[in-house]
Structure 1
Amino acid sequence: MTIIEEHRSKLRSGDNTFSIEVTTLPGGDRPGRLVVQVDASGPAGEPVADGRIEVAQDVVGALGAVLAETLRHHQAMAGAGGRRARDRPACRGRPWTPELDAELERRWIAGESVEEIAARFERTPGGIRARLPRVGCDPERPGEYLPEPPSHREAAASP
């Protein structure tokens, strides 16, 4: 009598649905082997993964670890997933010059939005919001300067 074990799983991750089937092969000439079949579809039912691998049972754990590490490495290199998936602005993280600061101030006071300024400077909207107070502009009130701090008001009022 030949016994074949099968385990089927259907999992959702984000917009994708994964079907995984693991089958033990009958003894025969290569005992202790598994066949792993993976299929996945995207949100519109389009295939996003398809594959079959045959592996000895005694190396299943090692293969799983190697595959996981390799896929994490490729995900990081490709920038897939999470925040790294987006294209980064060309000037993100570059130092600001006095000329750039002056242009940032001029554009903010002229009423341009954070998104418009970020596109012009090739920086992130968060980077623009963080820089505005450094040039005296109020990031919470478009087109306005920060109020003068009390310490500066008292110094200006003194003879």
Structure 2
Amino acid sequence: MNIVEEHRTEVRVQDTVYRIEVAAREGGGAAGEDRWVTVMVGGAGPQQEPVAEGRLDIDAEAVPALATVLSDTLMAFAGRSGGGGNRRRRSADRPPRQGLPWSEELDAELESRWLAGESVEEIARRFERTPGGIRARLPRVGCDPERRGAYLPVPPSQREAGGLG
């Protein structure tokens, strides 16, 4: 199995240090198309005593749902089901695709819809994302988020030299 992506995070909360390592890897399926994510969690207190350790192997398609379930369950167990404390909790009614990666096909459709004159709100509903997410993505596909149906202008430094000489 080949690791295709890795992320490591270390966070200190008071005197405890927590580590989370996430590795996405290709599975050993017949077509090699299975993608799995391994999550390893560890934590050590002020005297280096372990306070958390564990490993989860998750089918990549199940990661978003399991992340929500784990978060909700742990917060409820800790007596903070309302998202109290200093942790900001995402709205339960957030768009389903908010924060997910964009594909080339989605980028092409975004560009096409913008140039056809659709509003940010219409596009956000279609893509199940926030209007802010759409506005942030438009420049990445060359579109001007301030002018519906328009591309971004070419900066002067990248314009071809004209016959003004």
- TM-score range relative to shorter protein: 0.3 to 0.5
Please state which structure has a larger fraction of its residues in helix.
1
TM-score by length of 1: 0.47
TM-score by length of 2: 0.45
The structure with the larger Rg is: 1
